[in-house]
Structure 1
Amino acid sequence: MNGRPYQLTQVIKLFQWICFMIFISRAYQHLFWDAPFRTLLWDESLLKGFIEFIMPISWVDYVTSPATDTVIQDLIRLNGLFYLLCAVISVFLHKLKPAWGYVILAGAFSLIFLAFLYTKEKFFNIGQFFEYSIQFSTPILLFVLVFREVRLAHFITATKVIVALTFICHGLYAIGYYPRPGSFVDMTINTLYVSEAVAHSLLFIAGLLDFIVAVLIFIPLCARPALYYMVVWGFLTATARLTANVYADFFWSSLHQWWFEFTVRLPHAMLPLAAIILITIYTRERYQMTFKT
């Protein structure tokens, strides 16, 4: 990282650890739990004709076959191993050749595909897809930081857009534009010990605040306070996965199920933090030249 200010090298390390958390969380999910591959591979309207053309079985036999389910589960686990590789590469990317960076980009596109599967599962609500913006975009940002020239001001803007998309789409669910997930309500009740009615009201207010801060981060005088709010709120929403779902009576089994739901959302706090650091560097140093490995 020769030629970079010390603060920027620290930012790169932060981006590396954000990517590590995203990839290791998805790796754990795919290796030990499940991923929505079946929402595509069991889509009768999309695949029935193709399956019956290439295979000597009916669609019913295909979807009910234990062998089919085994193949799908093996694909999920294979994807988990790929995410595990991406997690390791993320930590050492600044020391590796550019070819390894393309593995990280492939990981990003795999995360985009995963976001698509979750979106399909939610009847193609576009907000569902862009709620994962931080998760599938951060590896791309890391690749750019390490292997490409970029003007710092442009990079900060791109980071803000990614953060804003994530918070806006989260807010669309919180205010009820899309059906408010029962898990949101349950986490609010179990974490804050409030009634269901109060939980719905709090989520509506939180959704409005998501929209407000998503705008404020583009206003120079308001950007840092809004980003600090995002750091705190991102951390709290990630932590809620643990406080609402991990129980002392069966601590390890519930932690096994929910820890990766916490770590995969920590980047919702960490990327706004990275944006704060980048803005501080930009305003303090007026460092407007391009930076390059």
Structure 2
Amino acid sequence: MPTSAFGPSLNELGYHVGRVKGNLYWVTDAVYQAMFLTTRTGVVLVDAPPSIGHNLLRAIEEVTRANGRPSKVTHLIYSHYHADHIEAARIFGNKVERIAHVETDRMLCAARDTNRPRPTTTFRDRYTLKVGGERLELAHHGPNHTPDNIFVYAPDYQTLCVVDVVAPGWVPFRNLELSQEVSNWIKANEQVMRYPWTALVGGHAGRLGIRADAELQMDYLDDLATHARATIEDFDVTPYFEKYGPSGNAYAAVKHYMDDAARQVAEPVIAKYTGKLAAVDVFTTDNAFSMLQSLQTYNGLSFGGSGIRP
């Protein structure tokens, strides 16, 4: 495990809170992250992971006691609808203004989870939040990890918060962050680099990101895609159907050739990024599987170039 993957130590209550820049702060439990902006009239919080829970309140109180700004959370921004990032929303009460993408509202309406109250303000493409002399720019650049996942940019502090896209110091979580649309999730990685940020809050792990982290992840994804394309072109699936075909168990044939193909893709990538990215040996085979699936279903590639049956 590269030591660069790890962030600051946690306090006795199990969290770390630190200044990103100016009035912008972040809090982590070494697994999840949230970001908050202290303003003249209250606090704007981005995400409320349940694993941090009431430590969010403690972290905010710690910061505002020191900087003399109000500690009340007046605005809560949802990055996306997933419970692991916003299920502590209810601890901020009913009077907080909750801001999210319109698709987040649709998903939460269907979920009916009282821990994730529906947003009170929604937007479709862009939304600028100005509160107490501070500003955040919210944008939806299309579906990626989820259909509703948004970018939150603090221009005065050159800080970008985008969750479940870039994992600073680590490989992407299993199956490319369990993304619903892998091709668009990869495009979201590219979109991240179009913002002029110097600090990144990625929603996971124990430290902030820098631009080199996002560049390294792009290199990893490029290598994964290159090896996946080569494997799709050259991999012979015939032996798998010869083995399992007589039994009629086509699922077994597909499972085993896909598993073996994913391992073939992953092997050189693991070798290249060992010591550079944490958990490269843990999730790269899963990530290779998702890359193979995306290249087939989105890009129209097929094993051995079989294509349309003549």
Shorter chain as normaliser: what TM range?
Answer: under 0.3
TM-score by length of 2: 0.26
Greater strand fraction, Structure 1 or Structure 2:
2
TM-score scaled to structure 1, two decimals? Answer: 0.27
Between 1 and 2, higher relative CO (CA 8 Å, sep ≥ 6) is seen in 1
